[in-house]
């Protein structure tokens, strides 16, 4: 089992920054890894990725010391199992609205006795099955649970009590939609909800995570205690492409 560098750095109190990728192109994943991200999240929810794409993407990330993770499509044990067995070092799980749902995530990621993950050899265990490889997988796998609905915000004090969650991750766009202020990132209702999550998570053993489309957002939420950040490839490419075109045509 490859050591999960992101998990180790979070345990040491450090901040990590990653990027969502929707493409199944392993060359793009390798190019992204070369830029110095701490982790890459291969997106099976909003992209076209399925577990069959993941192994080569994970290898491309690992080649340059970048931790490969996956955002799964849904909080389903068999789905989570397939993304993990393909070689990711952990998962982002969207649309988790209760502590019971968060417990389901942890059980799906972990082997017994903590969880219910089915046992088979896979690329991270060297396609072997023994007590040591299962214990290592339980120790190294990163569990990231999304908080992106009003219902989840209301239950946040219960989420932090679930053993085995590494990161509670705010998805501000979905959360804004759930709160009836779609896309209004500065709306007081959204800010209040995110700060309620932060107030519960930051003092707990769980790390607060945040989707941050700009460095300014990273800086602002680092001051509030978040230490796990992601952005997307598109928010980075769009302004760079537009600037290039505008300046070229000026």
Q: How confident is the model at residue 193 (pLDDT cuts 50, 70, 90)?
A: very high
Domain that holds residue 154: 5-249
Residue 150 has pLDDT above 70, yes or no: yes
Spatial neighbors of 11 by CB under 8 A, at least 6 apart, are: none
Give the chain's domain count: 1
d(CA 96, CA 105): 8
* Strand 142-147 versus strand 167-170 pairing type: parallel
Structural contact between residues 44 and 71, judged by C-beta atoms closer than 8 angstroms: yes
pTM confidence score: 0.96
Least confident of 68-82, 119-133, 212-226, 236-250: 119-133
77 contacts 136 by C-beta, under 8 angstroms: no
Tell me the pLDDT tens digit for each residue of 117-127: 999 878 888 88
Annotated catalytic residue 89: no
Return d(Cα 188, Cα 108) in angstroms, integer. 35
User: Which residue's structure tokens are 């230490």?
Assistant: 227
Provide the pLDDT confidence category of residue 6 given band limits of 50, 70 and 90.
very high
Which residue in 39, 57, 38, 37 sits closest to 47, CA to CA? Answer: 57
Residue 126 pLDDT: 81
- What are the tens digits of pLDDT across the range 90-110? 999 999 999 999 999 999 999
Q: State the virtual CA torsion across 232, 61, 39, 240 in degrees, nearest 10.
A: -30
* Tens-digit pLDDT profile for residues 30-71: 999 999 999 999 999 998 899 989 999 999 999 999 999 999
CATH classification of the domain holding 181: 3.20.20.60
């Amino acid at each position: 089992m490859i050591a999960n560098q992101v998990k180790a750095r979070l345990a040491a109190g450090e901040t990590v920054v990653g990027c969502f990728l929707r493409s199944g192109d392993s060359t793009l994943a390798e190019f992204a890894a070369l830029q110095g991200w701490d982790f890459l999240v291969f997106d099976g929810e909003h992209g076209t990725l399925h577990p069959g794409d993941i192994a080569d993407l994970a290898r491309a990330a690992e080649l340059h010391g970048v931790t490969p993770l996956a955002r799964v499509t849904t909080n389903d044990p068999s789905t989570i199992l397939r993304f993990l067995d393909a070689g990711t070092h952990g998962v982002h799980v969207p649309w988790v609205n209760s502590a019971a749902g968060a417990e389901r995530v942890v059980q799906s990621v972990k082997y017994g006795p903590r969880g219910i993950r089915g046992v088979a050899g896979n690329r991270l265990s060297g396609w072997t099955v023994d007590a040591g490889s299962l214990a290592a997988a339980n120790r190294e796998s990163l569990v990231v649970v999304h908080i992106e609905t009003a219902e989840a915000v209301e239950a946040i004090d219960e989420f932090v009590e679930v053993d085995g969650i590494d990161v509670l991750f705010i998805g501000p766009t979905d959360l804004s939609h759930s709160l009836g202020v779609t896309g209004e990132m500065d709306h007081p209702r959204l800010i209040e909800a995110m700060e309620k999550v932060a107030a519960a998570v930051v003092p707990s053993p769980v790390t607060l995570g945040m989707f941050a489309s700009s460095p300014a957002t990273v800086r602002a939420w680092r001051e509030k205690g978040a230490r796990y950040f992601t952005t997307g490839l598109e928010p980075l490419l769009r302004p760079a492409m537009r600037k290039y075109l505008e300046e070229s045509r000026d």
